[in-house]
Amino acid sequence: MKTILILGGGTGGTIVANRLAHGLRPDDVSIEVVSDSPLHYYQPAQLYVPFGEEDPRKIARSERKLLNPKVNFRIDTISEWIPDKQLLRTAKGENLSYDFLVIATGSIACPEAVEGFVAGADHFYTPEAAYRLYHKLSELEGGRLVVGVGGIPYKCPVAPLEFTLLAEAFLTHKGIRSNTEIVYTFPLNEVFQIASVVPVVRSLFEQRSIRAETFFNLESVDPEKKVVKSLEGTELPFDILVMTPPHKGAAFLRGHPMADNDGWVNTDRNTLRVNGLPNVWALGDTTNLPISKAGSTAHFEAPVIVEQIMATIRRQEPPPGKATYNGHVTCFIDAGYGKATILDFDYDHPPTVYEPDEFRHLQKMAFNKLYWHLVPTAVI
């Protein structure tokens, strides 16, 4: 019997586990998911918590209940990975061996990596942080709101843009937009890293009087003076600072021979194999691939890994075209006021971006509700 270990109980790991359970017999394989939490979070919902549109207590479900009964589930944290022995060590002192390994440990927000961030800035990348921000926005009566990106790469590239547009709509509905300045910062020389997205975002910012401050690479936050500073020397005073914190891979991967210093795993862009190892794959936020760290990325990557593993176990060739990842990503941009647009792209085709409309917003809201029933369960 072969052992398949899947590290991470998020979108990518859960889809892989359930697809493998559907496609392989229990007599042939043992499938186990290892996660440091018993809960599975729908992270896109965290964006709506600061505006009172989502309850942080209702955006997570039991990972065990989302997994196929044929999948074993272990709650533990990986502390060491020894590839040449096909061995993992856990924080609880367990040694886990494998025949096949899938790394889906995601990305971790690290606000402590920036001086003054924890005391002076807010973010929405955990339910707790998003809820704290809800209270601050509820009490805001005006001033300057600075929203920005504190380092690349980060989870869900469009999320800071969405937050900025949703905040503008929120402040308008609250009746304090006229006495609140909104400033958006970005580390590069434009407001987003995909060129075809920039004109639409620029147009929305201009329509809503949102100022963009580009080439703003976060250096530090002064909580007492309420000033955020960039490496370029720019200083911006704020009343509320909502900054995407730096992100890193799982702690056991940082500086690992199979990853870089921040823990992003060396992954082949088409096969998703790790560093040339024939029996190890990575997906989702975990990889070092130059694509979005987003749930939809993992969604499209998961079947590619599953087809390769099943073909190897069955000693067959994978179905033509199904075992290669082409960089496909799909994501919505919620623009506020009940409108949204969508980005759909891959390695070779940048997204064509349309003006936000009500239909795509309805699609996004429907997907948020249907996620639990369709995505981690591997229905789609």
Measured in degrees and rounded to the nearest 5, phi and psi for residue 93 equal: 90, 10
How confident is the model over 69-85, as a mean pLDDT? 98
Segment 315-365, tens digit of pLDDT? 999 988 899 999 999 999 999 999 999 999 999 999 999 999 999 999 999
pLDDT for the residue numbered 13: 98
298 exposure class (CB count in 10 Å sphere: 0-12, 13-18, 19+)? buried
Residue 123: what pLDDT?
A: 98
Write out pLDDT tens, residues 211-261: 999 999 999 999 999 999 999 999 999 999 999 999 999 999 999 999 999
What pLDDT is recorded for position 319? 87
Confidence grade of residue 380 (pLDDT, cut at 50, 70, 90):
confident
CA distance 239 to 213: 17
Span 169-224, pLDDT tens digits: 999 999 999 999 999 999 999 999 999 999 999 999 999 999 999 999 999 999 99
Position 320 scores a pLDDT of 85
User: What is the C-alpha to C-alpha distance for residues 82 and 96, in angstroms, rounded to an integer?
Assistant: 10
> Within a 10 A sphere around the Cβ of 245, how many other Cβ atoms?
26
Tokens found for residue 165: 């547009």
Contact 51, 145 (CB under 8 A): no
CB 313 within 8 A of CB 29: yes
Burial of 294 (0-12, 13-18, 19+ CB in 10 A): buried
pLDDT tens-place string over residues 279-314: 999 999 999 999 999 999 999 999 999 999 999 999
Question: How crowded is residue 363: how many other Cβ atoms within 10 Å of its Cβ?
Answer: 14
**Confidence tier at 115 by pLDDT (50, 70, 90):** very high
pTM for the model: 0.96
Tell me: pLDDT of 376 over 90: yes
Kindly state the tokens that stand for 128: 């707790």
Q: Is the dihedral of CA 81, 82, 87, 92 positive or negative?
A: negative
Give pLDDT, residue 89.
Answer: 98
Domains assigned to the chain: 2-107+249-314 (3.50.50.60), 110-244 (3.50.50.60)
β-strand partners of 213: 185
Contacts for 206 with CB less than 8 Å, ≥ 6 apart: none
Q: What percent of the chain clears pLDDT 70, i.e. is strictly above it?
A: 100
Helices (H) and strands (E) in the chain, counts: 8, 21
Residue 276 banded pLDDT, cuts 50, 70, 90: confident
Q: How long is the chain?
A: 380
Question: Could you tell me which of 64, 62, 69 has the C-alpha nearest to residue 42?
Answer: 62
